[in-house]
């Protein structure tokens, strides 16, 4: 049975948040802040600052705080010197680039922690059904399109358009292209050609260590990347963003245009679907299972560990049944938490030890079934004799915790607290919620010194806009005993 899917887009001047809801449950959260937008998909004119033969890589200055990382394999695939011929052995990095030269690169992964962005010289222009590779030659197709007849049909459509328009470059046919019409694919190719023409012009005048092209913002990327046949509705709570989304959808994603709805309700959109509570829960180490068991999730620089415990669940028959049912429930919840928290890299799951081989297979099968809906590539190993399962999930952006939290100075990195910025935005949303509910004469925000300082400095304009929006005076009061994430809104 196909799942019922909805997308919620919550927009404030400083932050855009997207929640993917499946059958009433929050499955994915995407967050983009105006001051720290992700760079995946952006194209830069970089300058090679260091070549590392031992790592087969180079560091490239693209104008950001940290230099980007370019591996030899990401150069060899499309370097003009190789005329598009397949490369069996990757040439030494020093034969491909040298220090001081300029190179056009595209970001594959955002900077994460102490690591700079992962780069490639294989530039690409993504659209709804295709990815255009200006320097490629072949037509690739997603492995998830299994029908040989459909694969041949799609290849034929793309090849015919290439021949008719005498196009250069290669294409990758995406999974969402399955059952797409020739008109849809032709429309995508036209969009990509226009985009590449614009980018090519910008590349001619770009300066070293500068951005040439920026990918579209989160609200619009949502329609390009997250819309599928199960989607029933996209709700947007900002009129300005809704109008932009409608225009973008009509031009590039026409099938999504009819799904868009503007939400003007008094109750906050995320509150209507309990998304705020899910965000709060996603910040916690402990995840409670319905049976009474629990899971402890810890993120480190190298990996994420998930420890499954029986907790208060004691079962009805025997110990083996208790362990099996707890692990079975945990398997489904692990898949949910990986998507919700956007856990990436190596994930080690410590299931409770089970004696029955049959039970182990059933738990693993439940985990594989649960991750089938994940949009990110995942690999899982068998359960080891110690009850451990190793999962690798492709990492393309920071996890939710690393995006919304920072290392706590009080505990020297052993815990996490919300950033001052996160608390400020939470306060601004809470004032709107309380004003709609109580209609007080005025409001006093009591918070820690750092939060009040930010509201008086960088976020002063946001606070002024809020006062004008609710037409009520707002005052600030410092409480030195408050922790960074603590605040209180006093109604007068």
What local confidence, expressed as pLDDT, does residue 102 receive? Answer: 93
Could you list the mean pLDDT of each consecutive 10-residue stretch along the chain, which spans 492 residues?
Answer: 83 94 92 82 94 93 93 68 50 90 92 86 88 89 87 94 91 84 86 87 92 89 81 94 92 85 92 91 91 90 90 66 90 95 94 89 94 84 86 83 80 75 94 92 95 94 93 94 91 88
Beta strands in 174-242 (DSSP E): 210-213, 231-236
| CATH code, 419-491 | 3.40.1260.20
Count of other CB atoms within 10 angstroms of residue 245? 24
Question: Is residue 215 within 8 Å of 184, Cβ to Cβ?
Answer: no
Q: Where are the domains of the chain?
A: 5-37+217-275, 43-212, 283-400, 419-491
Closest CA to 8 of 256, 228, 262: 262
Per-residue HEC secondary structure of 120-163 comes to ECCCCEECCCEEEECCCCCEEECCCCCCHHHHHHHHHHHHHHHH
Residue 442, number of CB atoms within 10 A of its CB: 13
Distances in Å between the Cα of 400 and the Cα atoms of 288, 306, 343 are: 19, 16, 8
Write down the pLDDT at residue 88: 57
Q: Which CATH number fits domain 5-37+217-275: 3.40.50.2300, 3.40.50.2000, 3.30.420.60, 3.40.50.620?
A: 3.30.420.60
Q: What CATH number is given for 43-212 in this structure?
A: 2.40.50.140
Contacts 24+ apart (CB under 8 A), 241-246: 241/9, 241/11, 241/16, 244/219, 244/220, 245/9, 245/219, 245/220
């Amino acid at each position: 049975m196909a799942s019922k899917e909805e997308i919620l887009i919550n927009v404030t001047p400083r932050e855009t948040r997207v929640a993917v809801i499946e059958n009433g449950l929050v499955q994915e959260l995407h967050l983009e802040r105006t001051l720290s937008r992700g760079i995946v998909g952006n194209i830069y004119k970089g300058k090679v600052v260091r070549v590392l033969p031992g790592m087969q890589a180079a560091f490239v200055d693209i104008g950001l705080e940290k230099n980007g990382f370019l591996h030899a394999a990401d150069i060899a695939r499309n370097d003009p010197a190789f005329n598009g011929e397949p490369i069996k052995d990757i040439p030494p990095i020093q034969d491909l680039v040298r220090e001081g030269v300029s190179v056009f690169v595209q970001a594959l992964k955002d900077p994460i922690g102490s690591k700079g962005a992962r780069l490639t010289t294989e530039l690409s222009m993504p659209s709804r059904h295709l990815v255009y590779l200006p320097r490629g030659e072949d037509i690739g197709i997603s492995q998830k399109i299994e029908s040989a007849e459909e694969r041949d049909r799609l290849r034929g459509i793309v090849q015919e358009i290439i021949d008719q328009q005498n196009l250069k470059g290669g294409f990758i046919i995406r999974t969402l292209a399955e059952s797409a019409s020739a008109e849809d694919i032709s429309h995508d190719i036209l969009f990509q050609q226009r985009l590449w023409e614009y980018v090519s012009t910008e590349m001619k005048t770009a300066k070293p260590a500068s951005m040439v092209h920026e990918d579209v913002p989160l609200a619009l990327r949502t329609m390009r990347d997250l819309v599928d046949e199960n989607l029933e509705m996209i709700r947007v709570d900002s009129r300005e963003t809704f109008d932009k989304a409608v225009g973008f959808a009509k031009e590039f994603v026409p099938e999504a245009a009819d799904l868009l709805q503007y939400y003007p309700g008094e109750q906050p959109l995320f509150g209507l679907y309990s998304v705020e509570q899910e965000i709060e829960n996603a910040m916690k180490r402990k995840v409670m299972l319905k049976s009474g068991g629990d899971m402890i999730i810890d993120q480190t620089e190298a990996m994420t560990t998930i420890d499954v415990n029986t907790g208060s669940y004691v079962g009805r028959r025997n110990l083996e049944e208790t362990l099996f049912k707890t692990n079975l429930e945990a398997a489904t919840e692990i898949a949910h938490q990986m998507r919700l928290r956007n856990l990436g890299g190596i994930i080690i799951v410590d299931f409770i030890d089970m004696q029955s081989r049959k039970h182990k297979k059933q738990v693993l099968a439940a985990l594989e079934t649960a991750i089938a809906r994940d949009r990110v590539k995942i690999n899982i190993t068998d359960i080891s004799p110690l009850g451990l399962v190793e999962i690798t999930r492709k990492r393309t952006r920071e996890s939710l915790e690393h995006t919304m939290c920072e290392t706590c100075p009080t505990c020297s990195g052993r815990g996490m607290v919300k950033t001052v910025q996160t608390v400020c935005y939470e306060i601004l949303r809470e004032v709107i919620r309380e004003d709609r509910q109580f209609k007080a004469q005025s409001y006093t925000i009591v918070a820690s010194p750092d939060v009040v300082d930010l509201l008086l400095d960088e976020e002063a304009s946001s606070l002024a806009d809020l006062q004008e929006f609710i037409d009520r005076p707002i005052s600030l009061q410092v409480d030195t005993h408050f922790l960074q994430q603590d605040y209180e809104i006093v109604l007068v």
